[in-house]
């Protein structure tokens, strides 16, 4: 396990992932009944953007750095509001060079009656995660394999909630491991909302993943993909995608508003572009 998220925190992929997570949490809170967040690959919770790791790559400058400096039309500002409020609340508390990971966003955007499970396999990061969140009695921190934990944690007793699966894709077969683990969890808890992150690096790999999902017999799968640059032959990250299973009903319209703005803001060369489409269900749209 070589991957450490502190090198990449706040980059363009984090920004899209966290904006979508924040929209989903906002919609979940629209109902009074409690819900649970299950974050299978949680990282350490929040990050120091001026720390050694983040400074080494500087990736956040082309992600959250651009977002925080941007002018936004009111419609975008309204949709980004909960995400930006969480970023600013963390910065007010921990310093203006910090950035929230998915656990911190979940912690801030949940209520007294909601619960969270944060899973992290890397022993050092799991320890840091526990240090950062043990104070909150609503959160359970597990040092475990995220896929094993997922199997054991669904369905949650609340029967409402969200699963975020955000692996580092260090393993060659991560795409198929993820689809299998997700599909098994879905069979146990078909009404949960699931967010699956994927990297855009290799066209064939992404296509195979999307076809596998489309053929999994799951009725409602939305995808949002943002490409910021041309795909490189060396396999670097050229784009980022999120799969949203059982999305809140307004999410696809919201993403249709947000994605062109994010595309214009985060593009790095003329290979940029975006899609919001149904992989399964609603109006199946695309030839991916
Ligand atoms: C992309 S980062 C997570 C970022 C986090 N979700 C966020 O948005 O702030 C992926 C994390 O998964 C951890 N990891 C890798 N393999 C894992 C596994 N099998 N189970 C759980 N965590 C794992 C890595 O140590 C890393 O911290």
Instruction: Report all structural domains of the chain as residue ranges with CATH numbers, in order of start.
Output: 5-280 (3.40.50.150)
Order of strands, edge to edge, in the sheet holding 193-200? Answer: 139-143, 115-120, 36-39, 161-165, 193-200, 239-245, 221-227, 273-280
Q: What is the pLDDT of residue 234?
A: 78
Question: Which of 5, 104, 117, 199 to mutate for ligand 1's pocket (most ligand atoms within 8 Å of CB)?
Answer: 5
**Which pLDDT score, from 0 to 100, does residue 203 have?**
86
Q: Report the atom number in ligand 1 closest to the C-alpha of 171.
A: 16
Instruction: Report pLDDT for 284.
Output: 62
Calculate the dihedral angle through the C-alpha atoms of 66, 227, 178, 184, rounding to the nearest 10 degrees.
100
Nearest to 165, CA basis, from 134, 33, 157, 180? 180
Return the percent helix, strand and coil in the chain, to nearest 5: 45, 20, 35
| Mutation to probe ligand 1, out of 2, 120, 195 (largest number of atoms < 8 A from CB) | 120
Pocket test for ligand 1, best of 167, 171, 172, 182 (most atoms within 8 A of CB): 167
Ligand 1 atom index nearest CA of 101: 9
Question: Among this protein's residues, is 32 annotated catalytic?
Answer: no
pLDDT of residue 134: 95
Locate 13 and state its tokens.
Answer: 């992929």
Residue ranges for the chain with pLDDT beneath 50: none
The protein residue whose alpha carbon is closest to atom 12 in ligand 1 is 41
What's the gap in Å between 122 CA and the centre of ligand 1? 8
Cβ–Cβ under 8 Å, residues 255 and 248: no
Q: Are 109 and 116 spatial neighbours (Cβ–Cβ below 8 Å)?
A: no
Measuring from atom 26 of ligand 1, which residue has the nearest CA?
43
Angle between helices 203-214 and 174-188 (to 10 degrees): 20
**Two tokens at 50?**
């001026």
Which position among 114, 166, 212, 269 bears the catalytic label? 166
Output the pLDDT for position 246: 97
Quote the pLDDT of residue 232: 83
Token pair for 143: 């040092």
β-strand partners of 38: 117, 163
Please report the atom of ligand 1 found closest to the CA of residue 44: 27
CA 41 to ligand 1 centroid distance, Å: 3
Q: Whose CA is nearest to atom 25 of ligand 1?
A: 122
What is the Rg, in whole angstroms, of the alpha carbon atoms belonging to the chain?
A: 17
Largest Cα–Cα separation, the chain: 49
Cβ atoms of 257 and 76 within 8 Å: the answer is yes
Residue 254 structure tokens: 């919201």
User: Which atom number of ligand 1 is nearest to the Cα of residue 122?
Assistant: 25
* Tokens 């969200």, residue located: 162
The pLDDT assigned to 165 comes to: 98
Q: Whose CA is nearest to atom 1 of ligand 1?
A: 168
CA dist 222 and 216 (Å) reads 14
pLDDT number for residue 287 = 56
Task: Assess whether the previous peptide bond of 155 is cis (omega < 30° from 0).
Answer: yes
Ligand 1 site residues (CB inside 6 A) read 1, 3, 5, 14, 17, 41-43, 101-102, 119-122, 125, 145-146, 166-168
Report pLDDT for 1: 79
Name the residue at shortest CA distance from atom 4 of ligand 1.
43
């Amino acid at each position: 396990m070589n991957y450490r998220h502190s090198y990449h925190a706040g980059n363009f992929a984090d920004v899209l992932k966290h904006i979508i997570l924040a929209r989903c949490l906002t919609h979940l809170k629209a109902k009074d009944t409690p819900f649970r967040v299950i974050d299978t690959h949680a990282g350490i919770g929040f990050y120091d953007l001026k720390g050694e790791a983040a400074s080494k790559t500087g990736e956040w400058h082309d992600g959250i750095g651009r977002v925080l400096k941007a002018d936004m039309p009111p419609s975008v500002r309204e949709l980004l509001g909960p995400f930006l409020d969480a970023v600013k609340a963390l910065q007010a508390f921990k310093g203006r060079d910090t950035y929230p990971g998915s656990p911190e966003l979940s912690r801030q955007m949940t209520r007294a009656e909601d619960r969270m499970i944060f899973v992290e396999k890397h022993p050092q990061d799991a320890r840091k995660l526990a240090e950062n969140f043990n104070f909150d009695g609503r959160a359970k921190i597990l040092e475990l394999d995220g896929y094993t934990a997922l199997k054991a944690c669904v369905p949650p007793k609340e029967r409402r909630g969200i699963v975020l699966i955000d692996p580092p894709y260090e393993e060659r077969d991560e795409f198929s491991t993820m689809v299998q683990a997700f599909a098994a969890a879905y069979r146990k808890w078909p009404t949960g909302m699931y967010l699956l992150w994927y990297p855009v690096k290799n066209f064939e790999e992404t296509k195979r993943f999307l076809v596998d999902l489309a053929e999994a017999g799951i009725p409602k799968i939305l995808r949002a993909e943002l490409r910021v640059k041309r795909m490189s032959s060396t396999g670097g990250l050229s784009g980022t995608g999120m799969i949203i299973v059982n999305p809140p009903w307004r999410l696809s319209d919201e993403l249709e508003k947000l994605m062109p703005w994010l595309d214009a803001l985060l593009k790095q060369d003329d290979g940029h572009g975006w899609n919001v489409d149904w992989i399964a269900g609603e109006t199946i749209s695309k030839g991916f």
